[in-house]
């Protein structure tokens, strides 16, 4: 077999592999828009039930109540192409692990949410209307807090049970952060 024939076969194989990969990504992009698809592998039935409940019990369900088109992938899919590709890579590796019987439910997020994911919808952090509706001593209203460099998820956890009147912020989680500056 000549080198020309080998090169043609190799090129054909490469084109088929690229085509299958692209079709897989298109199919994945369609499937991941269905929250039940996410829950099928990640075993978050309890969180999913809360997410769809009539009354918000955590920040994720409050987002869904405010705008029913909010889906798992909207927060967990990556706000930019780089993170999106990383999410798809992790999803692909998880799929392979599942198919070969080596998948275990993760005990932490391998790709933690960044501020960019929150800022897809919350930029600026508070709209002028929202800022005006808050108490004057609310954290994000105070000018002194605008330069603090904590990630959004340090205080705002999406799936932690909480109370709407406190914007689902867990005081046990936030108090140590506050004490970094406010020793009292």
- What is the residue extent of each domain of the chain? 32-105+115-178
For 94, the token pair is: 């998880």
Q: What is the pLDDT of residues 10-50, one digit of tens each?
A: 888 889 888 888 887 787 778 888 888 888 777 778 888 88
SS (H, E, C) 78-105: CCCHHHHHHHHHHHHHHHHHHHCCCCCC
* Cα dist from 114 to 28, 89, 117, 162, 175, whole Å: 22, 17, 6, 21, 21
- Distance between CA atoms of 47 and 67, rounded to whole angstroms? 17
Q: What is the pLDDT of residues 70-127, one digit of tens each?
A: 899 999 999 999 999 999 888 888 888 888 998 887 778 889 999 999 999 988 888 7
């Amino acid at each position: 077999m000549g080198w020309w024939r080998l090169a043609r076969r190799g090129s054909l194989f490469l084109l088929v592999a690229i085509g299958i990969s692209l079709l897989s990504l298109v199919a994945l992009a369609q499937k991941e828009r269905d929250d039940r698809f996410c829950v099928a592998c990640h075993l978050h039935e309890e969180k999913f039930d809360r997410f769809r409940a009539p009354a918000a019990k955590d920040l994720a369900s409050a987002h869904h109540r405010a705008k029913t088109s909010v889906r798992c992938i909207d927060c967990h899919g990556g706000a930019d192409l780089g993170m999106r590709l990383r999410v798809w890579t992790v999803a692909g590796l998880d799929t392979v692990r599942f198919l070969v019987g080596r998948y275990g439910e993760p005990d932490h997020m391998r790709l933690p949410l960044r501020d960019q994911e929150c800022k897809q919808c919350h930029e600026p952090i508070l709209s002028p209307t929202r800022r005006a509706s808050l108490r004057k001593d609310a954290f994000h209203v105070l000018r002194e807090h605008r330069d603090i460099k904590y990630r959004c998820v340090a205080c705002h956890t999406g799936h932690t049970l909480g109370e709407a009147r406190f914007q689902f912020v867990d005081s046990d989680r936030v108090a140590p952060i506050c004490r970094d500056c406010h020793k009292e």
